[in-house]
C-alpha cells in the first residue's frame, strides 16, 4: 500500500494482481531481479535450503554429517571477502562429545587489556555511506564504543522522511551529517578526501553498486591498503550466485528465507514479521561482527579489505534452530502463524486468573509440574492432551502466585507485558545527567534536549556492556547536513570553496527548513 495514495491503491493493486497471475512466481523473481527491481518469491525454509542461489553463494552450505549424511545448513552470517574458510565447514560435534570435566578444566582466557576509561574503538574514523536501517545500524553501533562516524547522504533525499528522518532518529545517532552530490566533480573530490581520511567505510549495496562507486577491493587498496569496507546487501554471500546483484530489503529477505510463511502460518497467508527492522537491525549487528574480524586481521597482517554481511544471512540467523535439512529429516511442522501460543505444553502462553503469562519449563518438563499439587494428576497425561488441562489449572490463580510457585527452580512464568510498560519501567531522562547503563540489559533514554524540539525516547546503547571499556551514549541524530561545513573544513576545503560548492549544488547544508519535514 505505502506510499501509493488511497485513491489509486485499489486500481494499482488490482492491475498488479492480474499481471502477476500470468507467470509463475519464480519467473517474476528473475525478471524483476534482472530489471534491478526488488521482488522475490515466497518460500518455505525447506525451499530456501535447496535454493540454487543460496547454495551457490554459500548462504546455505552442504556438510557431510556423520550421523545424518549430507546436510544442508545455514552458512556464515558474517565473513571476510575472499576467505575460503567461510565455504568450508565441518559438521558440529555430537552432543556431550566432550566430558564436562574436560570443559571445566579448561584454563580461563586472559581478558584483553584496557583500563575502562576509553572505548574499544576510540579514534577509529568511519565514513558511513548507508541509508535506511540496516546499514546505518553499523555506524550507530560503532559510535557506542568510541568510533568517530560521519554520515554521507545526497544533497536531495532519495527516499521519504519516514525512511530518512524517523528511522534515522535511532540509526544515525552519534554521527556527523554531510550532504554531497556524488554526480558532481566537487562532490567526488570531497568523497575522495573523506575516504583518504577514514579507517572504515560502510555501505549497503550489491557488488555492482560497490564497484560503480569506486570501492572495489583493488581500488580501496590503491587508496590505502589498511582501509576496510563493511558492505551489506540483500542476497550476497561468500561466493557469487545468480541473485548476488539482485536488490532487496528486509521484507524480501523475510519472504525468501521462510520467515513470512512461518509467521503467517502457511503459503496462503504469509505475513510480514513486524513492520520494519526484523532483519535489518540484525544484519547491521552481523556486519559489526564482520568488521571485528577485519580489525583483527588488520592488526595481525596490516591488510584491510572487505567485511560482509547480508539480509538473507540474517534471515538464516533469526531462524537458526530450524535452518537445516537432510534426507529423512522430520517434517518442518514447528508452530507457525499469528495464533501460535507456544511449542508444546512446557513452553507456552497460558491465561492466569488476572492475565496472560508465558510458562517456560523446556528442560524440566513434567518434573516442573510434579512439584505442585495443582498439577499432580496431569503428570502422566499424554503431551497432546496437556495444554488444555494445564490451561484450566493456570486459570485458577493469578500470575504472581504461579511466579512464586516456580521460584528457585529452572522453570518459570513471566507475565506478558507491552513494550510501552517495559519502556516506562526503565526510562531515564537524559537531562538528569545520571544515566546508568550498567543497571540492566534493556533501558530507555528520554532525550529531552533533542534538536527536533521535543523529547524522543530511544533504546539505550547497553545491550553489550564491556567490563573494561567505556560506552558512549551517542548524541542525537543531527539535522541532515548540519555538519557539512565543519567536516569539509576539516579535510582542507576553505570557506570560499565551501560557499562555491554550495552555490553549485555539489554540497548542501539541509534538506528542509525544519528537523521534522512538514
One domain, residues 488 and 446:
no
One domain, residues 362 and 448:
no
Instruction: Tell me the residue range of the domain where 448 lies.
Output: 419-459
Does residue 118 sit within a domain?
Answer: no
For helices 280-301 and 311-318, angle between their N-to-C axes, nearest 10 degrees: 110
Q: Which of 360, 326, 307 is nearest to 49 (CA)?
A: 326
Does residue 144 sit within a domain?
Answer: yes
- Confidence class of residue 22 from pLDDT cuts 50, 70 and 90? very high
CA distances from 298 to 27, 227, 292, 310, 454 (A): 43, 9, 10, 22, 43
Task: Report the pLDDT averaged over residues 158-167.
Answer: 90
Does residue 71 sit within a domain?
Answer: no
One domain, residues 147 and 296:
yes
State how many domains the chain has.
4
Q: What is the pLDDT of residues 428-453, one digit of tens each?
A: 998 887 888 887 888 999 998 899 99
Torsion angle of C-alpha atoms 474, 249, 332, 91, degrees rounded to 10: -70
Distance CA 189, CA 205 (A): 21
One domain, residues 181 and 257:
yes
Q: What is the pLDDT of residues 464-518, one digit of tens each?
A: 888 889 998 888 999 999 999 999 999 999 999 999 999 999 999 999 999 988 7
What string of DSSP letters covers 61-125?
Answer: EEEEETTTEEEEEE--SSEETT-GGGG--PPPPPTT-S-HHHHHHSPPPPPP---SSS-TTTT-E
One domain, residues 357 and 382:
yes
- Confidence class of residue 116 from pLDDT cuts 50, 70 and 90? low
Does residue 378 sit within a domain?
Answer: yes
In this prediction, residue 433 carries a pLDDT of: 79
- Confidence class of residue 34 from pLDDT cuts 50, 70 and 90? very high
Q: What is the pLDDT of residues 384-410, one digit of tens each?
A: 999 999 999 999 999 999 999 999 999
Does residue 40 sit within a domain?
Answer: no
Does residue 97 sit within a domain?
Answer: no
Distance CA 178, CA 309 (A): 25
Q: Residue 113 pLDDT more than 60?
A: no
In this prediction, residue 462 carries a pLDDT of: 87
Does residue 404 sit within a domain?
Answer: yes
Q: What is the pLDDT of residues 363-378, one digit of tens each?
A: 999 999 999 999 999 9
> What is the CATH number for 278?
3.40.50.10540
Distance CA 359, CA 175 (A): 42
Does residue 410 sit within a domain?
Answer: yes
Q: Residue 200 pLDDT more than 60?
A: yes
One domain, residues 308 and 161:
yes
In this prediction, residue 436 carries a pLDDT of: 85
Query: Among residues 385, 415, 445, which one ends one of the domains?
Result: 415
Query: Among residues 400, 415, 430, which one ends one of the domains?
Result: 415
In this prediction, residue 274 carries a pLDDT of: 85
In this prediction, residue 146 carries a pLDDT of: 95
Q: Residue 1 pLDDT more than 60?
A: no
Distance CA 498, CA 186 (A): 10
In this prediction, residue 98 carries a pLDDT of: 63
Q: Residue 110 pLDDT more than 80?
A: no
One domain, residues 352 and 437:
no
In this prediction, residue 108 carries a pLDDT of: 80
Q: Which of 262, 268, 266 is nearest to 315 (CA)?
A: 262
Higher per-residue pLDDT: 278 or 105:
278
What percentage of the chain exceeds 90 in pLDDT? 82
One domain, residues 144 and 219:
yes
One domain, residues 154 and 280:
yes
Q: Which of 78, 82, 283, 307 is nearest to 199 (CA)?
A: 307
C-alpha cell at 353: 486468573
One domain, residues 369 and 410:
yes
Q: Which of 273, 413, 275, 280 is nearest to 338 (CA)?
A: 273
In this prediction, residue 281 carries a pLDDT of: 96
One domain, residues 273 and 154:
yes
Strand segments (E) across 337-486 = 347-352, 355-360, 412-415, 427-429, 444-447, 456-459
One domain, residues 315 and 171:
yes
Higher per-residue pLDDT: 227 or 463:
227
Amino acid at each position: 500500500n505505502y506510499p501509493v495514495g488511497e485513491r489509486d491503491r485499489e486500481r494499482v493493486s488490482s492491475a498488479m494482481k492480474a499481471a502477476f497471475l500470468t507467470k509463475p512466481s519464480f519467473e517474476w523473481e528473475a525478471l524483476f531481479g534482472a530489471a534491478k527491481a526488488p521482488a522475490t518469491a515466497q518460500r518455505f525454509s525447506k525451499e530456501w535450503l535447496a535454493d540454487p542461489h543460496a547454495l551457490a553463494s554459500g548462504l546455505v552450505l552442504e556438510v557431510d554429517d556423520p550421523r545424518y549424511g549430507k546436510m544442508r545448513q545455514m552458512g556464515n552470517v558474517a565473513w571476510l571477502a575472499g576467505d575460503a574458510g567461510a565455504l568450508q565447514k565441518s559438521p558440529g560435534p555430537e552432543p556431550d562429545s566432550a566430558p564436562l570435566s574436560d570443559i571445566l578444566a579448561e584454563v580461563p582466557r586472559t581478558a584483553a587489556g584496557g583500563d575502562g576509561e576509553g572505548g574499544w574503538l576510540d579514534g577509529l574514523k568511519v565514513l558511513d555511506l548507508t541509508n535506511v536501517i540496516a546499514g546505518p545500524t553499523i555506524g550507530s553501533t560503532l559510535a557506542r564504543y568510541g568510533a568517530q562516524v560521519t554520515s554521507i547522504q545526497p544533497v536531495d533525499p532519495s527516499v521519504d522522511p519516514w525512511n530518512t528522518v524517523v528511522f534515522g532518529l535511532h540509526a544515525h545517532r552519534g554521527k556527523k551529517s554531510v550532504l554531497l552530490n556524488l554526480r558532481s566533480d566537487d562532490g567526488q573530490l570531497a568523497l575522495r578526501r573523506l575516504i583518504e581520511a577514514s579507517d572504515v567505510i560502510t555501505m549497503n549495496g550489491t557488488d555492482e553498486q560497490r564497484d560503480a562507486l569506486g570501492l572495489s577491493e583493488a581500488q580501496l587498496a590503491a587508496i590505502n591498503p589498511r582501509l576496510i569496507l563493511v558492505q551489506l546487501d540483500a542476497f550476497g554471500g561468500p561466493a557469487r550466485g545468480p541473485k548476488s546483484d539482485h536488490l532487496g530489503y528486509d521484507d524480501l529477505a523475510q519472504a525468501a528465507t521462510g520467515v513470512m510463511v512461518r509467521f503467517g502460518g502457511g503459503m496462503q497467508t504469509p505475513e510480514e514479521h513486524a513492520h520494519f527492522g526484523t532483519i535489518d537491525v540484525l544484519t547491521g549487528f552481523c556486519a559489526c561482527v564482520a568488521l571485528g574480524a577485519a580489525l583483527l586481521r588488520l592488526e595481525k597482517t596490516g591488510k584491510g579489505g572487505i567485511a560482509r554481511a547480508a539480509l538473507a544471512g540474517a534471515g538464516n540467523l533469526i531462524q537458526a534452530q530450524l535452518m537445516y535439512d537432510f534426507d529423512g529429516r522430520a517434517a518442518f511442522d514447528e508452530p507457525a502463524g499469528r495464533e501460535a501460543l507456544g511449542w508444546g505444553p512446557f513452553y507456552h502462553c497460558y491465561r492466569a486468573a488476572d492475565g496472560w503469562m508465558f510458562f517456560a519449563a523446556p528442560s524440566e518438563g513434567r518434573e516442573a509440574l510434579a512439584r505442585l499439587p495443582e498439577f499432580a494428576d496431569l503428570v502422566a497425561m499424554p503431551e497432546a492432551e496437556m495444554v488444555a488441562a494445564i490451561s484450566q489449572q493456570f486459570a485458577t490463580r493469578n500470575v504472581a502466585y504461579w511466579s512464586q510457585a516456580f521460584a528457585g527452580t529452572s522453570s518459570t512464568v513471566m507475565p506478558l507485558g507491552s513494550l510501552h510498560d517495559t519502556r516506562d519501567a526503565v526510562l531515564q531522562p537524559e537531562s538528569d545527567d545520571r544515566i546508568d547503563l550498567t543497571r540492566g540489559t534493556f533501558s530507555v533514554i528520554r532525550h529531552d534536549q533533542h534538536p527536533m524540539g521535543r523529547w524522543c525516547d530511544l533504546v539505550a546503547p547497553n545491550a553489550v556492556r564491556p567490563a573494561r571499556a567505556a560506552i558512549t551514549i551517542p548524541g542525537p541524530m543531527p539535522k541532515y547536513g548540519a555538519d557539512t561545513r565543519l567536516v569539509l573544513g576539516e579535510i582542507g576545503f576553505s570557506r570560499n570553496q565551501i560557499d562555491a560548492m554550495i552555490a553549485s549544488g555539489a554540497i548542501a547544508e539541509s534538506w528542509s527548513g525544519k528537523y521534522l519535514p512538514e
